[in-house]
Amino acid sequence: MRKLLVYLKPYRGRIALATLLMAVSAICNLLLPTLMSNVLDQGVYGAQEANTFGFILKTAGWMLGISALSLASVAGGYWVVYHVISGYTWSLRSALFRKVHTMTLAEVGRIGASNLVTRSTHDVGTLNWVISMLCGSIITIPLMFLGGVFLCMRKDFRLSLVIVCVVPLLLAAVLLMSKRIDKLWEISDEYCDKQNDLVRERLRGIRVIRAFDRELLAHGRITDATRVMADNIIRANVRMAIIDPMAAFVLNTAALVIVYLGGVRMERGSGLTPGDVFAMIQYINIILGAIVSVSFAIVMLPHVRVAARRLSQVTESTGLEDDRPARDLHFDGTIDLEGVGFTYPGSALPALSELNLHIGAGEWVSVIGGTGSGKSTLAELLLAFRDPTAGTLRFGVADAHAGPWDRMQDAAELSPKDVRANVSCALQKSMLYAGTVAENLRMAKPDATDGELWQALEHAQIADFLRQKPEGLNFKLEPAATNISGGQKQRLAIARALLKDAPIYLFDDSFSALDFITEARVRRAINERLAGRTRIVITQRVVSAMHSDRIFVLSDGALVGAGTHAELLERCAIYREIYTSQTGGGAA
């Protein structure tokens, strides 16, 4: 929590100014009942004097001025406060976003993309909202309370004790209750999520549900969940509904006590006036209004705690990527894996073990294997998203920048930025960004001409599709590219990878949504365009792999075969098994 407040530091001056303005307004509000009671008292005591009405008018003038000052200062206060809060929220969001992009892939995966989204949107939003709700009251309520007590004490010390006792008790009661309610809300939120999940599950499974004629069962499950959810919402709401009447009753009773004690003390001749009693009742009303208006914000306090805790999970994350600066190295395309192994933290079995591969510059190799064979882990190693936990992965470095070191450089010693600058990739999930096709492609080469873009699109077999669109290269992709098909997404991702000029190209399962005809065309175009560059195709389709120079077969994280298609068919049982299962065996 304290770490999150650091971002408030640049605003210290403005926070002080806002506090001052709020304080002025609070004091003004407190003066009003006192002035009013003066008017009333004057009406009684000074009825005989000639200038009584003049005095009343003068006091009224003061009241008007003070009210206007109060309004002006509170408006000014809020103006400053909201600038501070929005600046604070902005810097918090910006910092979170930056932080995520310094974390390792493993850390991002551990926290989860959807959780990270919740942190930067919902959690920051909650913090922002509650601070906005509370900022005014945090400053004014204690002031109202202290000022009210102070003014009461000036009127009558003992009477003021009633307020001194009651208000903190009431606040404590509200806080205590909010804690209980918080738990109830948590439960009802849980049921709400459950209900959402049920509906989502049902809509997704509509075909199966209808196929088996189980709509009534699905409906029954939702009906039950709805009733349970309603019960829980009611429980939380009803508990919360206690706060307002309770606060009102306690403070109104305090007012009655003051009237009574006021009577008693007047009788004893303590100098207390009826106007003083009246003013005190007004103070109680002011305090009551303040408490009621914050009671629901106080209920939000536990949410702030939760939000703050979740935010600091991100801001204090230590899973950071190697941030050594890039040296603008140029790779020559050779890749060496020597006894490379990788074990996920907390996992007993290695995802990759004892991998010995040498990929020469300009070679076209494929890596084939099923789910869990470790082929995606290999892709992550090649992109420096993870470092091998055993053995060494080396890249050949071509240029003079490399200095006196060995030509082959350990990936662990290189900046991840350098590795990524030299490996162009199309990944398993073809991740595209909302925006135009041109914007998406230029990620790979910011200064590419339209001609270059069209050429890459041509090679990826997607140019025809875009030519049919009136917008052409400026065809806009929706978030997550929902307005094009899976195959089109993959081809755009391939075009992007092709556009980048790099010695090494990595295609991680990026043909899976293409039909055989399109895939064959893409394959042919890639091989023409990228002749002489290192190409690594990671796939589970034997058709995608069988034509490459060499095929590596992975199974359970180990290399079980390497060679050409023909060699493997002869030597490698697992390869043969994959081939048979996918093609029906020798159908060629």
Partner 1 sequence: MSTANHPVKKEKSRLFDETGKRLLREIKPLWGWILLSALLCLVLIGCAVAAPELLGGLVDRLYAWVKAPGPGLAKSLLPGLGLLLGIYALQGAVTYGNSYLLNNVVSRYFCAELRIRLSAKLCRLPVSYVDKTPAGDVIDRMMEDVGNMADSIYGIVEILLTGFLQMLVIAVILFLTDWRMAIPVVLLSPLSVLLSAKMATLGEKHWDKHFNLGGELTALAEEAYTNYPTTKAFNREAALQEKYDELSMRHQRNGIFGNFLSAIVQPVIVFVDALAYIAVAVLGGWLIVHRNLPIGTVVTVIFFARQLSAPLERIAFGLSFVQHVKSAAKRVFTLLDLPEEHDPSGTVQAPIRGRVEFRHVDFSYDPDKPLIRDLSMDVRPGQKVAIVGPTGAGKTTIVNLLMRFYDIQKGQILIDGRDISQLSRAETRRLFAMVLQDTWLFKGTVAENVCYGSPEATRAQIEEACDCAYCDHFIRRLPQGYDTVISEDSTAVSSGQKQLLTIARALLADRSLLILDEATSNVDTRTELLIQKAMDRLMGGRTCFVIAHRLSTIVDADVILVIRDGQIVEQGRHRDLLAQKGFYYELFTSQYQI
406 to 435, contacts with partner 1 by CB under 8 A?
416-417, 420-421, 423, 425, 427, 431-434
Q: Which two tokens stand for residue 427?
A: 């990944």
The one among 358, 372, 474, 532 contacting partner 1 by CB under 8 A: 372
Residue of 211, 349, 400, 566 interacting with partner 1 (CB under 8 A)? 211
Determine, following the binding rule CB under 8 A, whether residue 436 of this chain makes contact with partner 1: no
Of the residues 5, 16, 90, 180, which one makes contact with partner 1 according to CB under 8 A:
90
CA distance 557 to 381: 13
- Cβ proximity of 342 and 389 under 8 Å: yes
Question: 205-228 burial, b if ≥16 CB within 10 A, otherwise e?
Answer: eeeebeeeeeeeebeebeeebeee
- For partner 1, the binding residues in 263-292 under the rule CB under 8 A are 263-264, 266-267, 273-274, 277-278, 281, 285
Span from 146-154, 155-163, 189-197, 451-459 in contact with partner 1 (CB under 8 A):
189-197
Segment contacting partner 1 by CB under 8 A, of 163-171, 215-223, 396-404, 405-413: 215-223
Distances (CA, A) of 573 to 3, 580, 584: 58, 10, 15
Q: Smallest distance, Å, CB 172 to partner 1? A: 19
Q: Does 204 bind partner 1 (CB under 8 A)?
A: yes
- Which residues within the stretch 104-123 sit at the binding site for partner 1 (CB under 8 A)? 105, 108, 113-114, 116-117, 120-121
CB of 404 to partner 1, least distance (A): 27
Residues 490-519 interacting with partner 1 (rule: CB under 8 A): 496, 500, 512-519
Nearest residue to 225 (alpha-carbon basis) of 260, 253, 190, 252:
190
**Sites for partner 1 among residues 318-337 (CB under 8 A):** none
Residues 448-487 interacting with partner 1 (rule: CB under 8 A): 478-480, 485-487
Residues in 547-586 at the binding interface with partner 1, rule: CB under 8 A: 547, 555, 574, 577-578, 581-585
User: Residue 121 Cβ, how far from partner 1 at the closest point, in Å?
Assistant: 5
Residue 447 found at the interface with partner 1 (CB under 8 A)? no
199 binds partner 1 (CB under 8 A): yes
Spatial distance between the Cα atoms of 569 and 546, rounded to a whole number of angstroms: 10
Q: At what angle do helices 52-100 and 274-315 cross, to 10 degrees?
A: 10
Q: Any contact of residue 231 with partner 1 (CB under 8 A)?
A: yes
Residue 176: Cβ within 10 Å count: 10
Contact positions with partner 1 (CB under 8 A) in 293-312: 293
Distances (CA, A) of 230 to 120, 184, 199: 30, 12, 16
Number of residues that bind partner 1 (CB under 8 A): 167
Instruction: Find the largest Cα–Cα distance for the chain.
Output: 122
Any residues with CB less than 8 A from the CB of 191 and at least 6 apart, and which?
225, 228, 229, 232
Is-contact 417 326, C-beta < 8 A? yes
| Rama region for 470: left / alpha / beta (φ>0; ψ in -120 to 50; rest) | alpha
* Mask for 132-171, x = binds partner 1 (CB under 8 A): x---x-----------------------------------
Amino acid at 546: M
Task: Please list the alpha-helical segments (H only) found in 444-572.
Answer: 450-459, 463-467, 486-499, 516-529, 542-545, 565-571
Minimum gap (Å) between residue 339 Cβ and partner 1: 25
Q: What are phi and psi of 374, to 5 degrees?
A: 100, 5
Q: Which stretch binds partner 1 (CB under 8 A): 161-169, 340-348, 401-409, 522-530?
A: 522-530
Q: Which candidate, 249, 270, 247, 248, places its Cα nearest to that of 159? A: 270
Binding mask 60-89 for partner 1 (x = CB under 8 A): x--xx--xx-xx--xx--xx--xx-xxx-x
Contacting residue, 213, 323, 447, 464, with partner 1 by CB under 8 A: 213
Contact 390/557 with Cβ under 8 angstroms?
Answer: no
Task: Work out whether strand 364-368 and strand 352-359 pair parallel, antiparallel, or are unpaired.
Answer: unpaired
Helix, strand, coil proportions of the chain in percent (round to 5)?
A: 65, 10, 20
Which residue, 91 or 392, is less far from partner 1 as judged by CB? 91
**Segment contacting partner 1 (CB under 8 A): 125-133, 151-159, 163-171, 355-363?**
125-133
Among residues 161, 301, 402, 443, which is the contact residue for partner 1, using CB under 8 A?
A: 443
Binding mask 237-256 for partner 1 (x = CB under 8 A): xx--xx-xxx-xx--xx-xx
CA 475/CA 489 separation, integer angstroms:
13
